[in-house]
């Protein structure tokens, strides 16, 4: 892989090293449809030729004048076909989340001056069709599913023997690795979206360094399930790791079918975000709570053992024997539910609870936490397969080939070939973020035995009215370890004490209320129930023992509804939008501080 310079070189590399029957796969009419390496190579080249005939151009491979092509789609082979085909013309792909709101889509398409757009389905087309006339540069719209009245992407494919395929080879040969391959707009938790320009060199170097550091071995007989949005740089980068490793990529039908797809595909691994891991664990615990008798006792005994697991310190012969029994009788069923072949899960995008990492790893489902922003293509650190460089609660050591340092205030800074070219049309923001080659991530961290531990976002640190700094993220992660707490947001800037907005785990709470003969009505009534509030006071008081005095949650408000992307409180990568939540629930926050 080291000799490969551009992202699209992955196809030729795989053809030469390990051509396979299932380079990409997805469900079509209830059946898995696979595309071989040869199929993909042919489709992508014919697609590129069609784009060239359409007039798509890299215009001397300059990011300002090169054509921009947008894609709004769920994960599917056509997403990758489009990505590769656009790259081979020298044009620049602008991917958007399918969950992005119409106002933000309009801004991004206009800011990037998008000329052509690919949309996956009628549902997404209906969502954006009203804003498309507002994009003055837009020339053509194509869909992956057949939608009446809209051009189909396959119409662009030239015939297999078309002479224009020679033109594709000529253009590919001239594309430098310094050329921008994609502009990924990040909205973060606040503010106007910023277009992060990532070159071929940026992403290829990050994929290569991640591959050798983790490591990902060449494994043509292995498969992965992909469900994190492909427009997120984390999933895009690992896609190229898989392609360069010969690993077949199977796309989940939807977030709702992941469980079924895991059992069907039996993958060797997948990538995820902590919020989805939390959901998986919650489902496991709900299943366990419905057991009775010896099975119930055995389940909770096993989970208790797993909570004590430390991959770096032996628990002793007696503990290891008990864990072996738990693995055979209980955890084997967890692994079967994930397909039975999982050798790795990599989680990123937000901090993961150390408790979850312990439990899954003890259960023979190794979870490796990594870290990195879009601006670094993205990986900076990742826990390794070697236990020496895997420590729960850290994101592992930096990947080989990158320099990482902590500024005086603890901000994590990185330097290396994967640092972005800059923000599109925003040299002012680029100058703020990158100085002397060092990317300032905005994250705060500390070193722990050579591994990096993320303590908070620089902008999320707040000071109480008493002048004490508080980092909310570690408090929130600890609180979410309690089964009764689904989501939590710590508040308290310029206030006398720390408070919290808490969304209960209503499934857990309902079982507790039934056991205690408390009627469970609608969520609005439940969060106002005095006995429920008393229960949460006990929970918060017990959790406060983990924090120093200034960090302890003195008062809280229970909220009746879970935060989500659809309701606007979470980003597409399932991180909390703090400012949005604080504005939306300002009355609840004021209630926390009434009376001091």
pLDDT band at 596 (very low <50, low <70, confident <90, very high): low
Each residue of 324-337: pLDDT tens digit? 999 999 999 999 99
Residue 470 and residue 579 in one domain = yes
Q: What is the mean pLDDT of the chain?
A: 94
Question: What pLDDT score does 490 carry?
Answer: 96
Q: Are residues 254 and 289 in the same domain?
A: no
Rg (CA), the chain: 25
Q: Does 257 share its domain with 293?
A: no
Question: What's the pLDDT tens digit per position in 199-248?
Answer: 999 999 999 999 999 999 999 999 999 999 999 999 999 999 999 999 99
Among 457, 486, 518, which residue terminates a domain? 457
Residues 561 and 548 in one domain: yes
**Inside any domain, residue 232:** yes
Q: Are residues 588 and 545 in the same domain?
A: yes
Residue 93 domain flag: yes
Task: Mean pLDDT check: name the lowest of 96-105, 124-133, 147-156, 302-311.
Answer: 96-105
In this structure, the answer to whether residues 108 and 229 fall within a common structural domain is yes
Q: In the predicted model, what is the mean pLDDT of residues 535-539?
A: 96
Percentage, residues of the chain above pLDDT 70: 99
CB-CB contact of 69 with 94 (8 Å): yes
Distance between CA atoms of 73 and 100, rounded to whole angstroms?
A: 11
- Highest mean pLDDT: which of 163-167, 341-345, 567-571? 341-345
**What are the tens digits of pLDDT across the range 463-512?**
788 887 788 988 998 999 999 999 999 999 888 899 999 999 999 999 99
Q: Which domain holds residue 39?
A: 9-270
> Does 2 reside within a domain?
no
* One domain, residues 281 and 203: no
Residues 335 and 404 both lie in one domain: yes
Q: Are residues 232 and 203 in the same domain?
A: yes
Q: Using CB atoms within 10 Å of the CB of residue 488, give its burial: 0 to 12 exposed, 13 to 18 middle, 19+ buried.
A: buried
> 12-67, pLDDT tens digit by residue?
999 999 999 999 999 999 999 999 999 999 999 999 999 999 999 999 899 999 99
Task: Indicate the residue among 247, 270, 293 that finishes a domain.
Answer: 270
Note whether residue 237 is domain-resident. yes
Q: Is there a single domain that holds both residue 287 and residue 218?
A: no
Co-location of 294 and 343 in the same domain: yes
CATH of the domain at 401: 3.40.50.12780
Residue at 4 is within a domain? no
Q: Look-up: residue for tokens 């299943």?
A: 287
Instruction: For residue 3, tell me if it sits in a domain.
Output: no
Cβ neighbours of 59 (radius 10 Å): 13
Shared-domain flag, residues 301 and 258: no
- The number of folded domains in the chain is 3
> Which pLDDT belongs to residue 189?
46
The enclosing domain of 468 has a CATH number of 3.30.300.30
Integer angstrom CA distances of residue 456 from 277, 376, 516, 572 = 20, 18, 38, 20
| Domain end point (choices 392, 425, 457) | 457
Q: How far apart are CA 70 and CA 466, in angstroms?
A: 49
Burial of 161 (0-12, 13-18, 19+ CB in 10 A): exposed
370-391 residue pLDDT tens? 999 999 999 999 999 999 999 9
Give 154-206 pLDDT, tens digit per residue.
999 999 988 899 999 999 999 999 999 999 998 654 468 899 999 999 999 99
298 in a structural domain: yes
Model pTM?
0.87
Burial class (CB in 10 A: 0-12, 13-18, 19+), 173: exposed
């Amino acid at each position: 892989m080291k000799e490969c310079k551009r992202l699209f070189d992955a196809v030729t590399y795989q053809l030469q090293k390990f051509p396979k029957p299932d380079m990409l796969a997805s469900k079509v009419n209830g059946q898995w449809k696979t595309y071989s390496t040869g199929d993909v190579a042919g489709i992508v080249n014919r697609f590129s030729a069609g784009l060239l005939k359409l007039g798509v151009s890299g215009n001397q491979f300059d990011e300002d004048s090169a054509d921009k092509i947008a894609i709004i789609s769920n994960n599917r082979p056509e997403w990758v076909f489009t990505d590769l085909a656009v790259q081979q013309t020298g044009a620049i792909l602008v991917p958007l989340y399918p969950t992005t709101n119409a106002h933000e889509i309009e801004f991004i398409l206009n800011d990037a001056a998008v000329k052509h757009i690919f949309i996956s389905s009628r549902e997404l087309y209906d969502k954006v069709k009203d804003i498309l006339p507002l994009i003055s540069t837009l020339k053509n719209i194509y869909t992956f599913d057949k939608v009446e009245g809209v051009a189909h992407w396959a119409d662009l494919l030239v015939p297999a023997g078309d002479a224009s395929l020679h033109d594709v080879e000529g253009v590919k040969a001239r594309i430098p690795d310094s050329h921008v391959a994609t502009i990924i707009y990040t909205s973060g938790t606040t503010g106007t979206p910023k277009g992060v320009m990532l070159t071929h060199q940026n992403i290829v170097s990050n994929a290569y360094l991640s591959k050798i550091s983790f490591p990902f071995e060449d494994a043509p007989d292995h498969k992965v399930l992909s469900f994190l949005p492909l427009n997120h740089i984390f999933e895009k980068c690992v896609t190229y790791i898989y392609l360069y490793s010969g690993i077949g990529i199977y796309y989940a039908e939807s977030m709702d079918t992941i469980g079924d797809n895991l059992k069907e595909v039996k993958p060797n691994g997948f990538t995820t975000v902590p919020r989805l891991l939390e959901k998986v664990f919650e489902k496991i615990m709900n299943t366990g709570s419905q057991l009775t008798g010896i099975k119930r006792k055995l389940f909770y005994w096993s989970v208790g053992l797993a909570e004590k697991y430390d991959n770096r310190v032996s628990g002793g012969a007696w503990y290891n024997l008990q864990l072996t029994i738990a693995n055979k009788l209980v955890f084997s069923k967890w692994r079967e539910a994930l397909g039975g072949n999982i050798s790795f899960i990599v989680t990123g995008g937000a901090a993961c609870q150390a408790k979850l990492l312990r439990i899954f790893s003890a259960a023979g489902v190794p979870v490796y936490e990594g870290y990195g922003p879009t601006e670094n293509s993205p990986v900076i650190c990742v826990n390794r397969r070697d236990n020496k460089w895997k420590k729960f609660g850290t994101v592992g050591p930096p990947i080989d080939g990158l320099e990482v340092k902590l500024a005086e205030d603890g901000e994590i800074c990185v330097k290396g070939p994967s640092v972005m070219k800059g923000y599109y049309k925003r040299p002012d923001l680029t100058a703020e973020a990158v100085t002397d080659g060092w990317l300032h991530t905005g994250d705060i961290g500390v070193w722990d035995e050579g591994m990096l531990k993320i303590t908070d976002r620089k902008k999320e640190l707040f000071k109480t009215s008493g002048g004490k700094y508080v980092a909310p993220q570690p408090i929130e992660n600890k609180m979410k370890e309690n089964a009764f707490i689904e989501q939590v947001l710590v508040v308290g800037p310029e206030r006398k004490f720390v408070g919290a907005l808490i969304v209960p785990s209503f499934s857990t709470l309902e079982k507790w209320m039934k056991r205690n003969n408390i009627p469970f009505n609608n969520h609005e009534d439940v969060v106002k129930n005095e006995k429920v509030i008393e229960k949460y006071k006990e929970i918060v008081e017990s959790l406060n023992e983990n924090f120093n005095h200034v960090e302890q949650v003195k008062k809280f408000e229970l909220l009746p509804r879970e935060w989500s992307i659809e309701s606007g409180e979470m980003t597409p990568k399932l991180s909390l939008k703090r400012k949005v939540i604080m504005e939306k629930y300002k009355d609840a926050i004021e209630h926390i501080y009434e009376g001091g």
